[in-house]
Amino acid sequence: MADLNNLISPFFLNEKEIRKVLELFFFSYRDFTSGPDKILEKLKFGRAHHRVIYFVGKKNNITIKELLIVLKITKQSLSRVLNQLVEEGYIIVSSGLDKRTKSLSLTEKGGKLELELSTIQVKKIKKVLNNFSEENINGFKKILYEMIDINNKKIFEQLND
For the stretch 107-116, pLDDT in tens is: 999 999 999 9
- Global pTM reads 0.88
Into which CATH architecture does domain 14-130 fall? Orthogonal Bundle (1.10)
Give per-residue pLDDT as tens, 107-159.
999 999 999 999 999 999 999 999 999 999 999 999 999 999 999 999 999 99
Report the C-alpha gap between 72 and 111 in whole angstroms.
23
Q: 91, 78 in Cβ contact below 8 A? A: no
Domain ranges of the chain: 14-130
**114 CB burial (10 A radius; 0-12, 13-18, 19+):** buried
| pLDDT at res. 3 | 61
Instruction: Compute CA distances 32 → 24, 28, 109, 120, 121, whole Å.
Output: 12, 6, 23, 9, 6
